[in-house]
Chain A
């Protein structure tokens, strides 16, 4: 009898778990392992796979294109993160109050988040049009001669950064709103009794108490922005003159244009290691908070 129910339970377990487990092993588990293996080979998709040891990784360290894409990615991150943090927090603070049309404003700020990168990139490409674009027209009204934006190596990445920040502010805002709701109103009441103004409350209550959220948002944004790709691909394709070429694009090109699967895999593992470093920091800090 007991054996019967055991067997039955096992069958149920298979029914529930196996479809997902098989999919997981095939499309996630196995690819992770084989990607690591491929990264130590010179596989070009057609010929024989030959182990080349650390050759791909050594080549990577000496590849100027890789370092250019690394530098460009870092430049993107340095521009993008402060922008989304500051404006995301500002929007969250604005929307955290009781007001009319709150739902409308929140929906509006979140609108770019649900839109695809491709759509956003195309619209911004049009906005950035040096001659007929809305941005340079707006600049001309206040007497500024607008730059060439995406077709100038000096401003192309700035253009991508601004458009990316515009798209993600709503996302960061929602995360900050969650953090703000965790702050007990009693702090503000106590501060009001003590006669603190809004600026003081912001500086001495909100920002310190929001620190865990800020940290979380920063890490998430970092992880995401190391993977920046879609908007670059659509807006500049890495140009002009490689000035916006980013890491994922480099991986994509080597894998699917030059079919250097081994080299591209090695690059993807370097990307993973960088991302892992930040994930690890996040986990460490979270552990410390819990204990």
Chain B
């Protein structure tokens, strides 16, 4: 990187310097904020439109010109979507699946990461390389045998079928190992001197030190699981066990043109992750940046 920077600096030196015209900083600033607000509006309008539509009474959605603020806002769509459709059931399923997947992923990957980063054993690096190699394989390759496996375990249409296969994503182990490699040897040696065993070193020394990374992994896994559509689509055919994304697609299949109802369903599915986002924004961005993959 440094090498590159300096070579670019050489390139820069060849640029002939020109006296720039006098700027009008205020106009620039206004232009800058206009661009920013314009961009932010494009990002926000679909969300606002979603909420606005969900609050419109029957028949008020298909009106021209469209109204951003409903004349008589009503919660009627929310009542309908939760009464005529097991929306609350989907919400519960999503919470169970996302929470358990996240906990499992955090526990298993940080433990394996401890073995990979802090313990010595034969074939360790080769085994980890094997882990890494599988990260390149897209989920579409594994999903067919995974489906067959789940079927043989009798886990189709069940929580274990939704949760367990997604708990072992290699990315978690990779991330936790990276974090644990940075812990200085002296810390754990001191703990071992004091008679601590491996579990105590893992739990008392290592985990507290990698807390931010662990949090980022947790948030990232939760979001992945909350938003996952393909895997529930494959594993679940019993509507009672659908998670929110799958539930929304079922909702679409039944009331495709009832936009007020649909948007109420979408709001219910988006709200929980939005609340988590408001409180843990930093970890969301961190988790996404580290993953580089989002799917």
Interface residues of A (CB under 8 A from B): 9, 12-13, 15-17, 19-21, 23-24, 26-32, 34-35, 38, 45, 90-91, 94-95, 97, 99, 105-120, 122-124, 126-127, 129, 131-132, 134, 137, 166, 168-171, 174-175, 178, 182-184, 187, 190-191, 194-197, 200, 204-205, 208-209, 212, 216, 220, 223-224, 226-227, 229-230, 233-234, 248, 251-252, 255-256, 261, 264-265, 268-269, 271-272, 275-276, 279, 289
Within 8 A of A (CB), among B271-295: 273-274, 277, 281, 284-285, 288-289, 292-295
Contact of A19 with B111 in the complex, beta carbons under 8 Å: yes
Closest to B112 in A: A20
Contact of B168 with A208 in the complex, beta carbons under 8 Å: no
Q: Given known contacts A12-B198, A108-B43, A233-B233, what 13 new A-B pairs fall within 8 Å (CB)?
A: A16-B115, A19-B108, A20-B111, A32-B141, A116-B229, A118-B244, A123-B49, A132-B62, A196-B20, A204-B11, A209-B5, A224-B295, A275-B138
- Which of A109, A123, A248 meets B43, CB within 8 Å? A109
Closest to A29 in B: B134
Within 8 A of A (CB), among B141-155: 141-149
The CA of A45 and the CA of B20, in the complex, are separated in Å by 71
The CA of A183 and the CA of B9, in the complex, are separated in Å by 11
Contact of A114 with B284 in the complex, beta carbons under 8 Å: yes
Contact of A182 with B140 in the complex, beta carbons under 8 Å: no
Q: A116-B229, A132-B63, A230-B229 are in contact. Are A175 and B111 (CB under 8 A)?
A: no
The CA of A31 and the CA of B18, in the complex, are separated in Å by 62
Main secondary structure of the interface of A (DSSP, over half): helix
The CA of A120 and the CA of B39, in the complex, are separated in Å by 17
Contact of A35 with B293 in the complex, beta carbons under 8 Å: no
Interface residues of B (CB under 8 A from A): 1, 4-5, 8-9, 11-12, 15, 17-20, 32, 35-36, 39-40, 42-47, 49-50, 53, 61-66, 108-109, 111-112, 114-116, 119, 121, 127, 130-131, 134, 136-149, 164-165, 167-168, 170, 173, 197-199, 202, 223, 226-227, 229-230, 233-234, 244-246, 248-249, 252, 259, 262-263, 266, 269-270, 273-274, 277, 281, 284-285, 288-289, 292-295
Q: A19-B108, A114-B273 are in contact. Are A224 and B141 (CB under 8 A)?
A: no
Contact of A187 with B12 in the complex, beta carbons under 8 Å: yes
Contact of B197 with A12 in the complex, beta carbons under 8 Å: yes
Residues of B contacting A113 with CB < 8 Å?
288, 294
Q: A32-B134, A191-B12, A224-B294 are in contact. Are A137 and B140 (CB under 8 A)?
A: no
Return B123 CB to nearest CB of chain A, in Å. 11
Closest to B127 in A: A21
The CA of A170 and the CA of B130, in the complex, are separated in Å by 32
22 interchain pairs (CB within 8 A)? Answer: A12-B199, A23-B164, A26-B168, A28-B137, A28-B142, A35-B142, A38-B144, A90-B39, A91-B39, A117-B229, A123-B263, A166-B43, A168-B294, A178-B289, A195-B18, A220-B293, A233-B233, A252-B233, A256-B234, A261-B144, A264-B144, A265-B141
The CA of A122 and the CA of B264, in the complex, are separated in Å by 11
Residues of A contacting B112 with CB < 8 Å?
16-17, 19-21
Contact of A16 with B119 in the complex, beta carbons under 8 Å: yes
Residues of B contacting A28 with CB < 8 Å?
134, 137, 142, 168, 170
The CA of A107 and the CA of B274, in the complex, are separated in Å by 11
Contact of B144 with A255 in the complex, beta carbons under 8 Å: yes
- Which of A127, A137, A256, A276 meets B46, CB within 8 Å? A127
Task: Point out which of B164, B168, B270, B273 has the most chain A C-beta atoms below 10 A from its C-beta.
Answer: B168
Contact of B164 with A27 in the complex, beta carbons under 8 Å: yes
Residues of B contacting A90 with CB < 8 Å?
39
Contact of B15 with A196 in the complex, beta carbons under 8 Å: yes
The CA of A99 and the CA of B32, in the complex, are separated in Å by 10
Return B156 CB to nearest CB of chain A, in Å. 12
Return A94 CB to nearest CB of chain B, in Å. 5
Q: A16-B115, A109-B43, A114-B274 are in contact. Are A272 and B137 (CB under 8 A)?
A: yes
Q: A20-B173, A184-B5 are in contact. Are A126 and B149 (CB under 8 A)?
A: no
Closest to B47 in A: A111
The CA of A108 and the CA of B46, in the complex, are separated in Å by 12
Contact of B269 with A271 in the complex, beta carbons under 8 Å: no
- Which of A35, A108, A166, A234 meets B252, CB within 8 Å? A234
Contact of B8 with A205 in the complex, beta carbons under 8 Å: yes
Residues of B contacting A94 with CB < 8 Å?
32, 35-36, 39
The CA of A174 and the CA of B53, in the complex, are separated in Å by 30
The CA of A20 and the CA of B177, in the complex, are separated in Å by 13
Return A98 CB to nearest CB of chain B, in Å. 12
